[in-house]
Amino acid sequence: MTKPAITRDSVKQLDQEDSMQKYKKEFYQENFHYMDGNSLGLLSQRAEKALTTSLEDWKEHAIEGWTEAEEPWFYMSEKIGRMTAPLIGAEAEEVISTGSITSNLHQLLATFYKPIGKRTKILADELNFPSDIYAMKSQLEWHGLNPDDHLIRVKSEDGSSLSEDNIIKEMDEDVAVLLLPSVLYRSGQVLDMKKITEAAHEHGIIVGFDLAHSIGALPHELNEWGVDFAVWCTYKYLNSGPGGVGGLYVNEKHLGKAPGLAGWFSSNKDKQFDMSHDLMHADTAGAFQIGTPHILSSAPLIGSLELFQEVGIEEVRNKSLKLTRLLMDLLHQELSGLGFQIANPLQDERRGGHVCLIHEEAASICKALKKENVIPDFRSPNVIRLAPIAFYTSFEDVYDVILTLKDIMENEKHKQYKNERGIIA
C-alpha cells in the first residue's frame, strides 16, 4: 500500500499531538531552523537561569560560595552526576561531572589500561572521532608501545558502519581495553553495547564507551550491561553550552580503585582539606576528578537536566525517532533523484539522533542552507548531518527544512558556493 503524501497539515497534526511541543518555547531560536544540535545544543531559559544563579552566588558570597551558594559549588559536580545517572542507567555514585571527553579518556585509560604480559593492545575502530584515537595513541606511547602495533582499529565494510561480529572477532588474549563510540558520529549507527560488553568480558577485556552522540538522545543501561567505564560531552544533546563540562561513569565494581591521574578533587570530600600529601581518594566516581570544578561551565547543566527529569529519556527517544523517520520519509518524497544517499541505519533501534546524508556537493549545499537560515552540519568530504532535537524541533520545522533543501537543489542555489569546508566544519 502506498503511503499517503506528507503535507503541512499532516505535520501540524503531529505537533498538536506532541507532548514535548511545550518545551520548544524554552529554547532561544529565532529566525532559523536549527539542525546542528548534535554538535552544539541551543541555550534554554533554565540553563541561562542556572548560570545566572551561580554568577549571583559569586557576586554575593565570594569564597563562601563553595558551601553557602544557592547551588553550593563544592558539591555541584556530584549533584550533576546524580541528575545525569538516569540518562545512562547508572547509580548516582557511578557518575561525576568533570573534565572533557579527552581529559576523562586520559584519566580512565591511565586507570584501566595496564599492559601486562600479552595483554598490551587497545581495541578501537577506524570510524571513531579523531580525538579518541589521539588519546589512545598517546596512552600507548606513554607506556613505550608503538600504536601501529598495539592499537587495533576494526575495519568498516562500507565506510559508514561497523559490524559487532567483526568487533568481537578482534577480541583475544592480547587485548587489554576496548574503547568504542556508542553512536558513530558520522552515520549515526547505534552499536549494540550490551552484546559487545558481554563478549569482551568473556575475553577478560575492560570495556569503555564514548557516549558523545548518545547521551541525552537515547536510553542506556550501563550498570546492567556491566560496562566498565564511559565518557561524554554535554554540549550536544544535553545543551550545556560551548565547552560545557563533560562527565564520566565508572561501574560500581571498580569504585574504590585509585585514579590513574590523581588530583586535588580526587579526594574524599571529608578529608580534602586535611591537606595531607597522601591522597585519600573518594570511593565514588568523584575519585576520577582531577582539578577544581569549572563552576560557570557546569551550572547550565543543572537547568538543562531539569528538562530531562521532567520528560524522561524514553519520551525524548520516542520523539527523536519520529522526527528522524519523518525527515527520511520527506527526503524520499521530495528529494528523490537529486543525488542524496541516506547513510544512517533505517531501523529505529540502530539509529541515533541524526540523519546522515551523502552528496558529492555536500559542502556547498550546507553553505546554501545556512544562507536560507537552516543550520546543518558538514563532515568532510561529503556528509550532511541533520539533527532534529526533541526538545526544540517541531515536526513542521522538519517539513520546512526539506522544502528549503528541495528549493536549493531544484534552483541550483548551492552552485554559487565553493564545494569545500570552512575553517570549522
CATH number of the domain that residue 25 is part of? 3.90.1150.10
- The pLDDT tens digits for 83-113 are 999 999 999 999 999 999 999 999 999 999 9
Helices 395-410/8-16 angle, 10° precision: 160
Residues marked as binding?
Answer: 101-102, 129-132, 210, 213, 235, 264, 292
Q: Residue 147 falls within a domain, yes or no?
A: yes
- The pLDDT tens digits for 50-81 are 999 999 999 999 999 999 999 999 999 999 99
Tell me which of 276, 310, 344 is where a domain ends: 310
Q: Residue 218 falls within a domain, yes or no?
A: yes
Q: What CATH number does the domain containing 114 carry? A: 3.40.640.10
pLDDT band for 3, please (50, 70, 90 cuts): confident
- Statement to judge: residues 304 and 321 lie in one domain: no
Distance, in Å, from the CA atom of 339 to the CA atom of 11, rounded to the nearest integer, reads 25
- Statement to judge: residues 269 and 160 lie in one domain: yes
Q: What is the pLDDT of residue 425?
A: 66
- The pLDDT tens digits for 209-268 are 999 999 999 999 999 999 999 999 999 999 999 999 999 999 999 999 999 999 999 999
- Statement to judge: residues 163 and 240 lie in one domain: yes
pLDDT band for 129, please (50, 70, 90 cuts): very high
Q: Residue 398 falls within a domain, yes or no?
A: yes
Q: Residue 345 falls within a domain, yes or no?
A: yes
89: left (phi over 0), alpha (psi -120 to 50) or beta: left
- Statement to judge: residues 95 and 108 lie in one domain: yes
- Statement to judge: residues 184 and 263 lie in one domain: yes
Q: Is a pLDDT exceeding 80 seen at residue 410? A: yes
- Statement to judge: residues 275 and 410 lie in one domain: no
Q: Residue 42 falls within a domain, yes or no?
A: no
- Domain around 58: 49-310
- Statement to judge: residues 224 and 285 lie in one domain: yes
CB 127 within 8 A of CB 183: no
Q: What is the mean pLDDT of residues 116-129?
A: 97
Distance, in Å, from the CA atom of 26 to the CA atom of 235, rounded to the nearest integer, reads 17
- Statement to judge: residues 69 and 15 lie in one domain: no
Q: Residue 425 falls within a domain, yes or no?
A: no
Work out how many domains the chain is built from and give that number. 2
Q: What is the mean pLDDT of residues 135-153?
A: 98
Q: Is a pLDDT exceeding 80 seen at residue 384? A: yes
Distance, in Å, from the CA atom of 20 to the CA atom of 30, rounded to the nearest integer, reads 19
Rounded to 5°, angle at Cα 217 from 290 and 151: 55
Q: Residue 195 falls within a domain, yes or no?
A: yes
Residues marked as binding for pyridoxal 5'-phosphate?
Answer: 101-102, 129-132, 210, 213, 235, 264, 292
Instruction: For the beta carbon of residue 194, count every other beta carbon within 10 angstroms.
Output: 15
Q: What mean pLDDT value characterizes the chain? A: 96
Locate all alpha helices (DSSP H) within 293-414, ordered by sequence. 295-311, 313-334, 362-371, 395-410
- Statement to judge: residues 296 and 179 lie in one domain: yes
- The pLDDT tens digits for 333-356 are 999 999 999 999 999 999 999 999
What burial class does residue 314 get, using C-beta atoms within 10 Å of its C-beta: 0-12 exposed, 13-18 middle, 19+ buried?
exposed
- Statement to judge: residues 264 and 379 lie in one domain: no
Express as a percent the part of the chain with pLDDT over 90: 95
Distance, in Å, from the CA atom of 35 to the CA atom of 365, rounded to the nearest integer, reads 14
Q: Is a pLDDT exceeding 90 seen at residue 2? A: no
Q: Residue 423 falls within a domain, yes or no?
A: no
Q: What is the pLDDT of residue 424?
A: 67
Rounded to 5°, angle at Cα 214 from 211 and 220: 85
Tell me which of 310, 337, 359 is where a domain ends: 310
Tell me which of 250, 285, 310 is where a domain ends: 310
Give the three-state DSSP class for 354. coil
- Statement to judge: residues 363 and 223 lie in one domain: no
- The pLDDT tens digits for 239-254 are 999 999 999 999 999 9
pLDDT band for 422, please (50, 70, 90 cuts): confident
- Statement to judge: residues 197 and 330 lie in one domain: no
Rounded to 5°, angle at Cα 91 from 114 and 89: 90
